[in-house]
Amino acid sequence: MNKRFFSKLGILTTAIVLFALLIGCAPATQPEQAAAQYPLHAPETRFKIATTTSLYDTGLWYYLEPMFEEYADVEMDIIYAGTGIALEYGKRGDVDAVIVHDRAAEDKFIAEGYGLNRRNFAYNFFLIAGPPGDPAGIKGSTATEAFEKIYEAGMKDPDTVKFISRGDNSGTHSKEKIIWSKAGYKYEDVEKSGKWYVEAGKGMGTTLLMANEEQAYVLVDISTFLAYTKKTNLTIAPIVEEDPVFLNVYAAIAVNPDTTNVANIDIANKLINWLISPEIQNLIGTYGKAEYGRSLFFPLADGGCNMEGCPSLEEYTKPVP
């Protein structure tokens, strides 16, 4: 009996040894291979930026972030916020750079001494989306005509016609205010005009989903609309697209160390120069094309799109497929 026991024990021991050898000789897993290929390295510098929510909602910054981290040997901390909030972070010195899309607010930020080295690096366009049935009858209208019709229809039938606003002092919200002004309305009056007008106080993606749920009209950048059409079940559709006021330009601005407590002005300038470099401009200009059938953004370094095949307003604002 003892012999049988020790025989079994020997077999078990041999099995354990063989198993251990097999594990030691087993091919490395993908994470192990990656770890071997890219040794653990913690950059000494943390670099902070605040960027508009559309770059988050479309995934563009997720695409660019690891490239810049490797290029500049930094660890990036990114805050996604509307332009107004992003600029406030800049004024407080909480971030080293901002990426925004509201020219009037940017001019003020720079004039007050908070921003340096602004460079436009990309653009897209806004559109007005809404219920396919178009209860306010805005199809074929200009942006200002569409807002007039939405206002009138919303006032008459607020249960049927609604408009969801960002309501967050973002670049999109600022563009909305510009269109209301061009349509002859004071924004303060629109805000208080009735339950047809709803301020979400949220980012672009969340606001778009609210509009979809409520079957309401919404001003949205075309890139976020395409991205959310792909990944969610949007039932609202683009209704008004072709209008010069829909042009949406993105700029990168370094925060001024002379008026704030930021310490990474060199890295901020490095980011800006990287964004307007030919290589990154090309990546921005082709981002999303394979997945969506059209680019989500277009490059805008040196004052204009310098890639072959850059669209004019008329070409870009063809109906969304």
Mean pLDDT within 251-266: 95
SS3 224: helix
Q: For the segment 154-171, what is each residue's pLDDT rounded down to a tens digit?
A: 999 999 999 999 999 999
Q: Which residues on adjacent β-strands are paired with residue 289?
A: none
Q: Does residue 12 belong to any structural domain of this protein?
A: no
Q: Does residue 33 belong to any structural domain of this protein?
A: no
Give me the pLDDT at residue 19, please.
Answer: 35
Q: Residue written as tokens 């600022």?
A: 174
Q: Does residue 28 belong to any structural domain of this protein?
A: no
In sequence order, what are the residues at sequence separation of 6 or more whose Cβ sits closer than 8 angstroms to the Cβ of residue 252?
97, 98, 99, 118, 119, 121, 271, 272, 275
Look at 131 and 308; give whichever has higher pLDDT: 131
Q: Does residue 37 belong to any structural domain of this protein?
A: no
Res 214 pLDDT > 60 = yes
Q: Does residue 82 belong to any structural domain of this protein?
A: yes
What single DSSP character describes residue 140?
T
Give me the pLDDT at residue 54, please.
Answer: 87
Residues 232 and 134 in one domain: yes
- pTM of the model as a whole: 0.79
Residues 136 and 270 in one domain: no
Residues 193 and 97 in one domain: no
Mean pLDDT within 83-108: 94
Residues 151 and 176 in one domain: yes
Mean pLDDT within 12-30: 37
Sorting pLDDT into bands at 50, 70 and 90, what band is 264?
very high
Residues 261 and 308 in one domain: yes
Residues 256 and 229 in one domain: no
| Total domain count, the chain | 2
Domain harbouring 242, CATH code:
3.40.190.10
Q: Which of 202, 224, 246 is the last residue of a domain?
A: 246
Q: Which of 202, 225, 246 is the last residue of a domain?
A: 246
Full residue range of the structural domain in which residue 112 is found: 45-124+249-312
Token pair for 142: 């200009």
Residues 211 and 149 in one domain: yes
Residues 151 and 210 in one domain: yes
- CA-based nearest residue to 272, from 116, 39, 44, 95: 116
